[in-house]
Structure 1
Amino acid sequence: MRQRHGTSAANPPWKLPPPLFNARCKACWATAAALVLVVASFVSLDLQWAAFFSLEALDRMGRFIGEFFPPDFSLPFVRRVAWSAVETLAMSALGTLLAALAGLALALPASRHHEGDRARLRGAARLLLNALRAIPELVWAALLLIAAGLGPFAGTLALALHTSGVLGRLFAEAMENAPRDAATALRTQGVHGWRVLAYATLPQVLPQLLSYTLYRWENNIRAAAVLGVVGAGGLGQLLAFHMGLFHMNKTATVLIAMLGLVALVDGLSFAMRRGMR
């Protein structure tokens, strides 16, 4: 039987798919280990799926959800919710701004800017960034309530501290991975120090830094709404108060305000990131 042009029995025109598992593939072993951990998690946890999906549980959940309707849209309460929403928005915006400034200040010593850079403070700066983001916002808020007292000030500081650790690490990675052609060209011309950073590195990574900041602002809106549960002001404090008193119609109004605020900030952040691109 005559072979087609350009093909042979040794080199067929089709290829077999790669094997699903290869003993030399590190990613395959990592995936297998992750699957083992997931299976072990299901086995070790006492997950009562039968009770969760029972008719009795579904009936109780249905009656509980029914207590949310109708929401309380009385004018005095809507005004109170609107002011709490503004407070939550201000907490998230100010906390994110402070975190971006602090994160940038910590990212400079936490990154290596060129091959010969010794970066003596890199380890200490990264350790501080790890410590800041390792503590959740709720824990920061609970600690700061002792010094700052109840209200949005403690919540704003809690958001700023945690987000500083997150943004500082992202900013440092962006600076280290930035193209170094422009910075090298300036150094060969005798330019050193902050001028290289200002005229070569930052202009290249600035859109990425702004994108990271906007993304964290979206997350901080949700976090600010939760921080009020520990008395840090905003919609979360209103939510915790009315849920504790079983005012479910008022709770429904607060939840609607939370959803609307998150959707608004998500839309604004998406539009701003799209404009930067």
Structure 2
Amino acid sequence: MLSRDTRDPAALPRLLLTLLALALLWPGVRLSELDPGVLLQADNREQMGNFVSGFWPPAHDPDFLALLLESTLQTLAVATAGMALAFLIAVPTSLLASRALSLGAASRGGQAGFWSRTARLPVRGLLIFLRSVPEIVWALLFVRAVGLGPTAGVLAIAITYSGMLGKVYAEIFESVDQRPAHALLQAGGSRLSGFLYGILPSAGAELVSYTVYRWECAVRASVVMGFVGAGGLGQQIDLSMRMFAGAEVASMLLAFLVLVFLADQLSRVLRGRLA
């Protein structure tokens, strides 16, 4: 009777990869000074318990709810206006950074020439610079330039997210079938017609899906930037935490959770309709 070897041939490589991952992770844990045991110390547990106990019941007086509604709408406005500006910057830069509408690539079967690749390097470098600086750093700079308020948050999101959108848009344009766009370009069509009728029909669903996802991220980012004076829910949460008003913080966190949930549902609906 023949015996069958039931050993997993990939077990040893997986074990080695796991050990390698742990060996690389350990220095990072040490450098970050991660110590979960600090949370279990008696003094820390008492302080956290006292702070969290003030969260209930959430604040719900009419004046505060009016302020909460205004801050929530301001957060939505900051995220939406910032994304709109980012979109206006990202679309032209992504087209310049992509070879999808390159006349040289159209004549060479999709392969761009040396000078075409070289000409795109400055645009790609600009996109790298825009997305490499976190939006909260831009918010700090703009708060000092234009003062406290939502304007700093709008500009910060516009700059950082234009780099993110531009990079991903360029990759989406290059990942779809470029033959229709190249055929239009070779037939004498303009780059605009090549984009509208050759690239956009194939890339539209993915573009909308990623844009809505980034808008959801912008909503969260606008709250974080409020802690440095960029307005919205974040600024109100910061003020309430400074005054140890836990009930107000709880109400604002609940409003933020609802905001993110609605943004997620909108993203899901749009992806389902465009799939």
- TM-score bracket for this pair, using the shorter chain length: 0.7 to 0.9
**Deviations along 1:219-273, whole A, 9 cap, x unmatched?**
0111111111111111111111111122222222221211111112111221122
| Residue in structure 1 matched with residue 202 of structure 2 by the alignment | 204
Are the structure 2 counterparts of residues 141 and 208 from structure 1 closer, same or farther at C-alpha, using a change threshold of 3 Å?
Answer: same
More displaced stretch, 244-253 vs 138-147: 244-253
Which of 22, 30, 41 does residue 35 from structure 1 map onto? 22
Give unmatched runs, 5+ long, in structure 1.
Answer: 2-8
Shift, 1:64, TM fit? 1.7
Partner Cα distance (2:152, 2:190) in 1: 40
Alignment of 1:108-187 (within 5 A): 108-113=95-100, 114=105, 115-117=110-112, 118-187=116-185
Q: Deviations over 1:162-210 (max 9, x none)?
A: 1101110000101111112212333443435332222101221111111
- CA, structure 1 residues 228+49, in 2 after alignment: closer, same or farther (shift >3 Å)? closer
Which residue number corresponds to residue 4 of structure 1? none
| Letter aligned with residue 253 of structure 1 | S
1:93 counterpart = 2:80: yes
Match of 1:72 among 59, 71, 76: 59
Does the C-alpha gap of structure 1 residues 263 and 54 become closer, same or farther in structure 2, counting only changes over 3 Å? same
Q: Report sequence identity in percent.
A: 36
The gaps in structure 2 that reach 5 residues or longer are none
Q: Secondary structure at the match of 1:121?
A: helix
* Cα distance in 2 between the residues matched to 1:261 and 1:44: 35
Q: Is the 8 A contact 1:144 1:154 kept in 2?
A: yes
Q: Which has the higher helix share?
A: 2
2:46 corresponds in structure 1 to 59
Q: Which residue of 1 aligns with 2:264?
A: 266
The aligned length equals 264
Distance in 1 (CA, whole Å) between partners of 2:50 and 2:172 is 50
The normalised TM-score by structure 1 is 0.86
Letter in 2 for 1:183: A
- Two-structure CA RMSD over aligned residues (Å): 2.5
CA 1:127 to 1:21, structure 2 compared with 1: closer, same or farther past 3 Å? Answer: farther
Change in Cα spacing, 1:151 to 1:45, as seen in structure 2 (3 Å) is closer
Residues in 2 aligned to 1:28 and 1:129: alpha-carbon distance in whole angstroms: 39
Name the stretch that deviates more: 167-176 or 119-128.
Answer: 119-128
Bigger-Rg structure (1/2)? 1
